[in-house]
A = this chain, B = another copy of it.
């Protein structure tokens, strides 16, 4: 008889990383104007001004993109902002992309960066993470994990953790983000010498301490940017049970060397997101002339090799 298989989010994610042989994940940040010409050319010229038509093109792009990347990576991160920008049309398409990704066996992270006070955050947790329970959505699944903003504290995060516990899902809480402005607040130093981002990191570890899987990682992870390798390595040391979702690799400037510190000696500990460097590979000189899906595949393969090389060192 086979040993029982853990359905804990962190265990599922680690298994998928091993199966695909990479901690690379692909970020979907679709902007109509950036889509490959072949997706836009069979449509009307004014689609950019028509929310429904723009969403239609984005949906085609995401559907085809997921087919290309699904064999190569364990997960995708879908940024809600790029869908919400098209109002209800975009929100509907977001749900469709989640279903499509799940059908390919991909783990889906909803990059929604939400939080509010308790009863409002509960509504956000239902909207962004829970499996939909409405009769008109029977069979639809929610994302497997969601990103959450910690500024409002534990009770703002708790509804997300509750859904994660009930439905074997995950939460990634912003700890040190990859953008230039992050330093103003996240790097401010507290009286005991701890920078705010480490203070938040320790809170995140505490919030997830009751929720550890078989492999030693909590289902409550942290978002830690690739753009400051020293901070990344410091947090890896400080938070052994916390999985990191690392944005900032690729288009934002983080290199494979920069992200090496996110991992433990056994190669576990992080997933590395690349968005624009992969989904808009058709715009890059080195993939010039390739059909866009071939360019995306080449970019995924190259990024996997790049990350594997840095981890082997």
Residues on A lying within 8 angstroms of B by beta carbon are: 29, 31, 46, 49-52, 79, 81-82, 84-92, 95, 111, 113-121, 123-124, 126-128, 132-137, 149-158, 174, 177-186, 188-191, 193, 196, 199-200, 203, 247, 252
Of A90, A117, A121, most buried by chain B (CB within 10 Å of CB) is A117
Nearest chain-B residue to A130 (Cβ)?
Answer: B85
Q: Report the bound CA distance from A151 to B184 in whole Å.
A: 9
Q: Are B178 and A199 in contact (CB under 8 A)?
A: no
Chain B residues with CB under 8 A of A136:
50-52
Q: Are A189 and B190 in contact (CB under 8 A)?
A: yes
Given contact pairs A81-B121, A137-B51, A151 touches B174 in the complex (Cβ within 8 A): yes
Q: Report the bound CA distance from A183 to B151 in whole Å.
A: 10
Number of copies: 2
Chain B residues with CB under 8 A of A133:
49
Q: Are B185 and A200 in contact (CB under 8 A)?
A: yes
Q: Report the bound CA distance from A192 to B85 in whole Å.
A: 40
Q: Are A124 and B81 in contact (CB under 8 A)?
A: yes
Of B85, B121, B151, the contact of A149 (CB 8 Å cutoff): B151
Q: Are A155 and B137 in contact (CB under 8 A)?
A: no
16 contacts between A and B (CB under 8 A): A46-B135, A49-B133, A79-B116, A79-B120, A81-B114, A84-B123, A87-B127, A87-B134, A88-B92, A113-B115, A117-B247, A149-B149, A152-B186, A154-B181, A188-B199, A191-B191
Of B113, B118, B126, B181, the contact of A114 (CB 8 Å cutoff): B113
Q: Are B155 and A118 in contact (CB under 8 A)?
A: no
